[in-house]
């Protein structure tokens, strides 16, 4: 009797906990020819979303691969700039997703990803879920959800803007260096042209005088 009650309590806790999320949002640098994998233990029936975006580097593309606990590939895309993938966990276990920059020879990439597992934790852990929410509370919940999507859009906008900004800063430094470089090359080439031409005529003069006499 005690044993079965213990098991029941464990199952209840497991049920409560699996409904909570620890959504992870990270930005990391992926060097060229590198692969970075992340793992997460997910329980069956949890709705999960993986979203990623390449922030800087090369052609802004990366390979992404999501595998479930048995190694079955759930999502596989090559050279993708941005994508969002939602799935419901069909098995318990460790799910793995990897980002690969192995096709790139010298550009390293900055990749942002957001992996949401399950729902948000409730504000009141001891909340009695049986009673319905009042109108005020459900209005608050819908505002909360709308604001969450606003924050999500803001994040994606910020990443795209970071892309544009880093390109603009690159362009700025490159314009400076190449302009100075070109001006120097121009001067060096024109001076050496004159010097070379002078050297041709200096030799010719001595030979012509020798032939003349």
Partner 1 sequence: MLKAFSNYKALNIYALYFHIGETEKKCFIEEIPDETMVIGKYRTQLWDKQTGSFLPATPGLGMHVEIKDPDTKIILSRQYGSDGRFTFTSHTPGEHQICLHSNSTKMALFAGGKLRVHLDIQVGEHTNNYPEIAAKDKLTELQLRARQLLDQVEQIQKEQNYQRYREERFRMTSESTNQRVLWWSIAQTLILIVTGIWQMKHLKSFFEAKKLV
Q: Which of 83, 102, 119, 182 binds partner 1 (CB under 8 A)?
A: 182
Separation CA 192–CA 197 (nearest Å): 8
* 49, containing H or E segment: strand 47-56
Q: How far apart, in whole angstroms, are the C-alpha atoms of residue 82 and residue 90?
A: 25
Per CB under 8 A, 27 contacts partner 1: yes
Among 128, 197, 211, 212, interactor with partner 1 by CB under 8 A:
197
Least spacing, CB of residue 78 vs partner 1, in Å: 22
The single-letter DSSP state of residue 37 is E
142 contributes a contact to partner 1 by CB under 8 A:
no
Question: Does residue 90 belong to the site contacting partner 1 (CB under 8 A)?
Answer: no
CB of 107 to partner 1, least distance (A): 17
Pick between residue 59 and residue 122 the one whose CB is nearest to partner 1.
Answer: 122
CB atoms within 10 A of CB 178: 11
Among 36, 49, 92, 107, binds partner 1 (CB under 8 A): 36
Task: Give the CA angle between residues 34, 111, 113 to the nearest 5°.
Answer: 120
Residue 44 interacts with partner 1 (CB under 8 A)?
no
Write b or e for each residue in 87-107: b if 16 or more Cβ atoms lie within 10 A of its Cβ, otherwise e. Answer: bebeeeeebebebbbeebeee
CA nearest neighbour of 58 among 114, 113, 102: 102
Q: How far apart are CA 168 and CA 162, in angstroms?
A: 10
Interface residues with partner 1 (CB under 8 A) are 6, 9-10, 13-14, 17-18, 20, 22, 24-29, 36-41, 110, 115, 117, 123-125, 136-137, 140-141, 143-144, 147-148, 150-151, 154, 157-158, 161-162, 164-165, 168-169, 171-172, 175-176, 179, 182-183, 186-187, 190-191, 193-194, 197-198, 201, 205
């Amino acid at each position: 009797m005690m044993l079965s009650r213990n098991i029941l309590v464990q199952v209840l806790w497991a049920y409560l906990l699996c409904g909570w999320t620890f959504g992870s949002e990270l930005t990391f640098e992926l060097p060229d020819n590198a692969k970075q994998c992340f793992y997460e233990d997910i329980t069956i029936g949890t709705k999960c979303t993986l979203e990623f975006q390449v922030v800087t580097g090369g052609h802004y593309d990366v390979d992404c691969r999501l595998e479930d606990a048995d190694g079955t590939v759930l999502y596989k895309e090559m050279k993708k700039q941005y994508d969002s993938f939602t799935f419901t966990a069909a098995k318990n276990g460790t799910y793995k997703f990897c980002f690969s920059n192995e096709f790139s020879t010298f550009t390293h990439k900055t990749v942002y990803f957001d992996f949401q597992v399950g729902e948000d934790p409730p504000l009141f852990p001891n909340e009695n879920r049986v009673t319905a929410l009042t109108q005020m509370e459900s209005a608050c919940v819908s505002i909360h959800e709308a604001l969450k999507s606003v924050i999500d859009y803001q994040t994606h906008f910020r990443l795209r803007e970071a892309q544009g900004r880093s390109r603009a800063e690159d362009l700025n430094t490159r314009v400076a260096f190449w302009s100075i470089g070109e001006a120097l090359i121009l001067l060096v080439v024109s001076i050496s042209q004159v010097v070379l031409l002078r050297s041709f005529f200096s030799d010719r003069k001595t030979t012509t005088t020798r032939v003349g006499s």
